[in-house]
Structure 1
Amino acid sequence: MAELKLPDLGDNVASAVVVGVLIKEGDTIAAGQPVLELETDKAVMEAPASEGGTVSKVLVKPGDEVKSGQVIAVLGGDAAPSAEQQEPQKQPEPKEEKVAPAPAPAAAPRPSVPAVPAGQRRLIPAAPSVRRLAREMGINLLEVVGSGPAYRISENDLRRFAAGEVTAPAQQPPSTPAPALPDFSKFGPVRREAMSGVRRATVRSMAQAWSTIPMVTHFDRADITEMEALRKRMAPRAEQRGAKVTMTAILLKIAAAALKQFPKFNASIDTSSNEIIYKDYIHIGVAVDTPTGLLVPVVRDVDKKGVIALAKELGEMAAKARERKLTPEEMQGATFTISNLGGIGGTGFTPIVNWPEVAIMGVSRSSLEPVWNAEKAVFEPRNIMPFSLSYDHRLIDGADAARFCRFVAEMLEDPFLLGFEG
């Protein structure tokens, strides 16, 4: 009998949640064979077996929280041959065009992955699509160092590896240890609850953004009376196409037009080379409130889609977010973010920029307010929507932010402009 233990989860990952068990009692497994699907933060990855054998008992189930070194199954009987022990003829012959070129003599050495204690296998942080591509390219993921957080491997990392290029791990911001908390139980009853993976990811990303980006927030308001009337008129047509047009869908289209008009807001800062990276695509993240925390699915090529198409896609992405069915790829690549709290309430807030983006828009609840009509010399009830724009002051100046917000407000106030600018 032998114990099958969970491999090392990687740097800064204390635990993970089991989302799938890939083995059952009676199965014969090989060392290195995937046995669990784990969710760490916002990503799902496979955990390989540290050794082979026949599964006599599985000790975990979907929904369980597991830690590195924890016993997840009991093995008995003979081990199945590992990948290294299989017959050579069973290995697929690499295609000629996929052989990686020999590295140049002066090429820098590849960075190494953090050491793993002897007898353990390193858990490889890579999405299923990346694993599939690695198999197609004939690449051993154990030899690849991911450039993402916790050395997560992307498709670009694979292509750079095949081309003989060095992939540098992502730079993590310097952290200051948090001071020890007092003993709250001295003052009254307390209870502890473990953070979800999503909440842990939020803690890290928000701390990184706050310590990295000098942020300023600009506030503005827009009269959306006409736009709201148009939205209601278009609702039946959208419903016929399986979509619900919300103000967020309209804001996606308006934001895309603003990003084209003001390309600085669709850029990123590369401090290592003192360059500004301007992106010729517009992918906008939309913050979605879910029972497990805030998730930000990304709507791609917003500038190339109509409002109804955006509304339909946004609804599908939000549903996937709430059901925890988003893939890591569906939460990557955003160039700008919108956070709409109008459905909940509030008169304004200061959203935090999602690094490496340089700006984020926050939308609050609209309300009817008396607005002076100089021509008629009367006050009229108008639907006023407050919104804000947080931005990276290293790249964007206050005047730029004011112009950006005025552009958005004018398009919200005159739906006719959406046909020209959008």
Structure 2
Amino acid sequence: MSREMRFTDPGEGIHEAEVVEIMVDAGSSVEEGDSVLAVETDKATTELPAAHGGRVEDIAVEVGDRIQVGDLLLTLAGDDAGDDHGKSTGGAEGDAAGSEETGDRDGASTGDKATEQDRKRRHKGPVPAAPSTRRLARELGVALETIDGTGPGGRVLDSDVRAAAESEETGPESQSAERDEAPQAERPAGERKPAPERQPASAYEPPDFSRWGEVERVPLRSVRRATAREMARAWAEIPHVMHHDRADVTALEHFRRDNAEEVEAAGGKLTLTVLVLKAAAAALRAMPRFNASLDADGETVVLKHYCHIGVAVATEQGLLVPVVRNVDRKSVRELAVELTELSRRARDGGLTREEMQGGSFTVTNVGGIGGRLFTPIIRHPEAAILGLGRAELTPVATGDLDTPAVYARLLLPLCLAFDHRLNDGAEAAQFVNRLRESLQDPESLLLAV
């Protein structure tokens, strides 16, 4: 009996993955629980075990294929593969050497077309097709459910998709064109020629860059692919507004240096980011609409009575954002120890998905890399994100026009990107003012536990 192995729902909102390794060959034998494939989701690589033992009859994917829940991965043949009752477990019809009742659907077609009832029954579950075939169907705008597959077990092949696309091109549209080209005399007098149906704008088609020199095509993978998708969504759905300011952190830097060794002895690193987290928590508690989300109906504000702040960490895999929970309830020392550990595991690839979920606000700091100022993109569905630039000694003039004085002060650039649907510019200015006041008074950070 042949049994299909399909990509099952891994949970946690994951619907697709990329095949990064195939650990078996067609014809090899596996036992139940043996790892047969390795797939990579947005944040982790997972080995998929065989649900049953048997001989690998067919491998439906290749390294680099992007698969979705329900896609066929491989077919295993057991000892009773010749049993005429053997049907695949994933919803496809029969095996490649089906009985007389199944009509020998092994590629040597008898020429008889499947009835509508047969087609519906065959496609009741996921349509058997390789991920590359599914991509082709999406590109050509063809619904796989409407195609009678000519491959083994009714599997839809690339040739089936192209044939269906060509059939649609020569279908109703061409017939409409023929009607439009009918002689004018056949229309009643005074009847206008119908206007052509408006077609949707086609997607952007880049030029052939190889015309101007050598190119290399490298697929977006893993974290970078997830980042591209989420950033495009956030920029498209959230009306961003940027509020810029600077905070005098001269006293804060002295405080940081005075307490760095004590925090290091406890296992943490007292950074400027840690102190900003504490100040941001106080501002979020005072102005909860920056610690909120807009519900899916677009008319309800979800105010969160917790303060979980994500901190962007640059890694070799890409940008990861572990979440520090209950920032408003923890001391500066506790935050330093926790953030140090989360950052280390982010760079080592040891974060769990749970540790990167549930954030209500985000802080990102490029100052350590050398960026003076930038405008971050809000992480959907949060209401705001705070970007930190490089703190620099800057001449600051004080006094009045008649008796000015100039001092060197350490100034930290701030950029608050906020969702204009939830907050206005005046509220953003008030939020940043509160943040600045906390950063300029280090003693207030010690009391805010």
SS at match of 1:29: coil
The alpha-carbon deviation at position 398 of structure 1 amounts to 0.4
Counterpart contact for 1:28–1:55, Cα < 8 Å:
no
Is structure 2 residue 268 aligned with structure 1 residue 265?
no
Q: In structure 2, do the counterparts of structure 1 residues 192 and 347 end up closer, same or farther at CA, with 3 Å as the change threshold?
A: same
Q: In structure 2, do the counterparts of structure 1 residues 268 and 77 end up closer, same or farther at CA, with 3 Å as the change threshold?
A: closer
Could you say which residue in structure 2 is the equivalent of 1:117? 127
Alpha-carbon distance in 1 for matches of 2:333, 2:250:
20
Could you say which residue in structure 1 is the equivalent of 2:20? 17
Residue type matched to 2:229 in 1?
R
Q: In structure 2, do the counterparts of structure 1 residues 274 and 383 end up closer, same or farther at CA, with 3 Å as the change threshold?
A: same
Alpha-carbon distance in 2 for matches of 1:393, 1:19:
47
Q: In structure 2, do the counterparts of structure 1 residues 343 and 259 end up closer, same or farther at CA, with 3 Å as the change threshold?
A: same
Please tell me the root mean square deviation across aligned C-alpha atoms, in Å. 4.0
Could you say which residue in structure 1 is the equivalent of 2:436? 409
Alpha-carbon distance in 2 for matches of 1:241, 1:37:
39
5+ long unaligned stretches in structure 1? 85-113, 121-174
Counterpart contact for 2:388–2:415, Cα < 8 Å:
yes
Counterpart contact for 1:297–1:318, Cα < 8 Å:
yes
SS at match of 1:268: strand
**1:16-415 residue pairs with structure 2 within 5 A?**
16-17=19-20, 27-29=30-32, 35-36=36-37, 38-43=39-44, 47=48, 49=50, 52-53=53-54, 65=64, 67-68=66-67, 78=79, 115-118=125-128, 178-272=203-297, 274-374=299-399, 377-415=404-442
Percent identical? 44
Counterpart contact for 2:274–2:332, Cα < 8 Å:
yes
Say which is worse superposed, 344-353 or 65-74, in terms of deviation: 65-74
Residue type matched to 1:343 in 2?
G
SS at match of 1:193: coil
Residue type matched to 1:405 in 2?
V
Counterpart contact for 1:340–1:364, Cα < 8 Å:
yes
The alpha-carbon deviation at position 14 of structure 1 amounts to 6.5
Could you say which residue in structure 2 is the equivalent of 1:160? none
Cα deviations by residue, 1:72-100 (Å, 9 ceiling, x for unpaired): 889676489xxx9xxxxxxxxxxxxxxxx
The alpha-carbon deviation at position 37 of structure 1 amounts to 5.1
SS at match of 2:215: coil
Q: In structure 2, do the counterparts of structure 1 residues 405 and 46 end up closer, same or farther at CA, with 3 Å as the change threshold?
A: same
Q: In structure 2, do the counterparts of structure 1 residues 371 and 324 end up closer, same or farther at CA, with 3 Å as the change threshold?
A: same
Q: In structure 2, do the counterparts of structure 1 residues 361 and 79 end up closer, same or farther at CA, with 3 Å as the change threshold?
A: farther
Cα deviations by residue, 1:103-153 (Å, 9 ceiling, x for unpaired): xxxxxxxxxxx9522599xxxxxxxxxxxxxxxxxxxxxxxxxxxxxxxxx
Q: In structure 2, do the counterparts of structure 1 residues 410 and 18 end up closer, same or farther at CA, with 3 Å as the change threshold?
A: farther
The alpha-carbon deviation at position 176 of structure 1 amounts to 8.7
Counterpart contact for 2:391–2:413, Cα < 8 Å:
yes
The alpha-carbon deviation at position 27 of structure 1 amounts to 4.8
Residue type matched to 2:255 in 1?
L
Alpha-carbon distance in 2 for matches of 1:348, 1:197:
28
Residue-pair matches, total:
332
Is structure 2 residue 448 aligned with structure 1 residue 418?
no
SS at match of 1:227: helix
Q: In structure 2, do the counterparts of structure 1 residues 413 and 183 end up closer, same or farther at CA, with 3 Å as the change threshold?
A: same
Alpha-carbon distance in 2 for matches of 1:386, 1:222:
7
Whose Rg is larger? 2
SS at match of 1:356: coil
